[in-house]
Chains A and B, each alone.
Chain A
Amino acid sequence: MPDTTITEAPAGFAPLERRALAARVAQDIPEGWYCNLGIGMPTLVADYVPPEREVIFHSENGVLGMGPAPDPEHVNPWLINAGKQHITLRTGGSYVHHADSFAMIRGGHLDLCVLGAYEVAENGDIANWATSAGERAPAVGGAMDLAVGAKRLWAVMDHVTKDGRPRVVRRCSYPLTAVGAVRRVYTNLAVLDVTERGFVVREMVPGLTFEALQARTDAKLLREG
């Protein structure tokens, strides 16, 4: 995911920086949920779920009950997450093989998956694995399984690209990860729900107007209520 920091805020509002956006997502995850956090920015969300709130994090490579990164003296070489970073296992955690790990995903057992995205469309389509054909080998990982399999999918991304193109769109222009899968989008400007009528704005950063948000969005936005 690109850096969400935008230094200029001429319009009287400040987009959330990367960590504040992760913290905003974390607020909405209740105790007891089993969650998978995608590689990159979504991984930061775990840092903002307080340990006394028992949320259980899953990693595709067979880890249920993932804990924070170890201190450098206590690295377990056999314990990594799907982003291939060293992690710890919380008390109560467990290991399974890859087919069982994806049975948790594909069998609808995860309450939530949070994925980064290039684009989300008003019908819930998500594009997050490939931008254009050619320059690099395609690589999908577990994104397609997660997008379809989890009970709910939230996307987290910047509201616009670095050069100002909207990522909240009527139809995705990049290759799809899944059709009609996204339930909610957290951007550095707003929280949007995907509904049968289209995107409904649930929240905006302080100082941002509905019109200013719409101007930065390709899809038509609806006011709450």
Chain B
Amino acid sequence: MINKIVRSVAEALEGVRDGSTILLGGFGAVGQPDTLLDGLIEQGARDLVIVANNAGAVDGYGLSKLIELGRVAKMICSFPRSSTSKAFENRYREGKIGLEIVPQGTLAERIRAAGAGIPAFYTPTAVGTLLAEGKPTLEIDGKLCVMEKALHGDVALVEAWQADRWGNLTFRDSARNFNPIMAMASALTIVQTQHLVELGELDPNAIVTPGIFVNRVVHVPYAAGAAQAA
């Protein structure tokens, strides 16, 4: 019997190694798996490369806390500024954290490409800007494009609305955001879910992420982070 459900957050995060690249779902605080982030803080892995749209939403909490603790070597993101969290910018100013800034659509597509087995792709986004400097370009049908490489994760941390023991997932409203594509792009996909349901309860037409992309599921009945929103 396939059973991807683990009993604790600690069990869910077992084996996450120092130096891992971690794809972190969410947009701002919505859809961000805060309980898994707390678990990662507890678990102790360091020198992490975190791939997420933002670089922390609330000081002393979640990703901001992980950054404050000096556990993040580098952020790969589209928008690291926040009016409610200064943790990233403070460390960035001190030269204590790396930053790769990526246009948001290119970030999403690099992650999608990783999940779909596409090593690189060409896009007109960012051509002629600072963010295309040093990257190969190619003119395709009269349009200048820049090459962008797939972005794989060692681990993805995902927040779902519903999950079953096979790891089939649904998402709630705009909390879907990066979660499904990150689940596809990582060697180890770890999910925190608001609701755990019996196999067969989910309408197959409503499943957004099928279990093939999921390794571990932990039930977090009330994700305070999502409810606090932005």
Interface residues of A in 90-110 (CB under 8 A from B): 95-99, 101-102, 105-106
B60 in contact (CB, < 8 A) = no
A77 in contact (CB, < 8 A) = yes
B78 engages A141 (CB within 8 Å): yes
The verdict on A79 contacting B174 (CB below 8 Å), with A61-B27, A97-B208, A175-B130 known, is yes
Q: What 1/0 mask marks residues of chain B from 50 to 89 whose CB sits below 8 Å from any chain A CB?
A: 0001010000000000000000000000111100000011
A101 engages B108 (CB within 8 Å): yes
- How many of chain A's residues touch chain B, expressed as a range? 35 or more
Q: Which residue of B lies closest to A143 (CB)?
A: B103
Which residues of the other chain, B, contact A102 by a CB distance below 8 angstroms? 104-105, 108-109
Selecting from A26-34, A132-140, A156-164, A206-214, the interface stretch reads A132-140
Which residues of the other chain, A, contact B124 by a CB distance below 8 angstroms? 148
Interface residues of A in 126-179 (CB under 8 A from B): 130, 136-145, 148-149, 175-179
A86 in contact (CB, < 8 A) = yes
Which residues of the other chain, B, contact A95 by a CB distance below 8 angstroms? 171, 173-174, 176
A144 engages B181 (CB within 8 Å): no
Q: What 1/0 mask marks residues of chain A from 177 to 195 whose CB sits below 8 Å from any chain B CB?
A: 1110000000000000000
A15 in contact (CB, < 8 A) = no
Which residues of the other chain, A, contact B27 by a CB distance below 8 angstroms? 61, 80, 82, 84, 98
B178 in contact (CB, < 8 A) = yes
B230 engages A99 (CB within 8 Å): no
The verdict on A106 contacting B78 (CB below 8 Å), with A86-B229, A98-B177 known, is no
A105 engages B105 (CB within 8 Å): yes
A76 in contact (CB, < 8 A) = yes
Expressed in whole angstroms, the Cα–Cα distance for A95 and B226 within the complex equals 17
Expressed in whole angstroms, the Cα–Cα distance for A140 and B78 within the complex equals 6
Q: Of B28, B88, B176, which is within 8 A of A97 by CB?
A: B176
Q: Which residue of A lies closest to B194 (CB)?
A: A78
Q: Which residue of A lies closest to B29 (CB)?
A: A84
Which residues of the other chain, A, contact B181 by a CB distance below 8 angstroms? 97-99
Which residues of the other chain, B, contact A106 by a CB distance below 8 angstroms? 105, 109, 123, 125
Which residues of the other chain, B, contact A139 by a CB distance below 8 angstroms? 78-81, 101
Q: Of A82, A86, A89, A96, which is within 8 A of B176 by CB?
A: A96
A63 engages B174 (CB within 8 Å): yes
CB distance from A39 to the nearest CB of B (A): 10
CB distance from B214 to the nearest CB of A (A): 15
A42 in contact (CB, < 8 A) = no
Which residues of the other chain, A, contact B105 by a CB distance below 8 angstroms? 60, 102, 105-106, 142, 144-145, 149
Interface residues of B in 84-104 (CB under 8 A from A): 88-89, 92, 99, 101-104
Which residues of the other chain, A, contact B92 by a CB distance below 8 angstroms? 137
CB distance from A120 to the nearest CB of B (A): 15
Residues of A in contact with B (beta carbons under 8 Å apart): 59-63, 75-82, 84-86, 89, 95-99, 101-102, 105-106, 130, 136-145, 148-149, 175-179
Task: Given A60-B104, A97-B178, output 9 extra A-B contacts at Cβ < 8 Å.
Answer: A77-B227, A78-B31, A79-B30, A95-B176, A102-B108, A105-B105, A140-B79, A141-B79, A148-B125
Residues of B in contact with A (beta carbons under 8 Å apart): 27-28, 30-31, 53, 55, 78-81, 88-89, 92, 99, 101-106, 108-109, 111-112, 123-131, 171-181, 208, 226-230
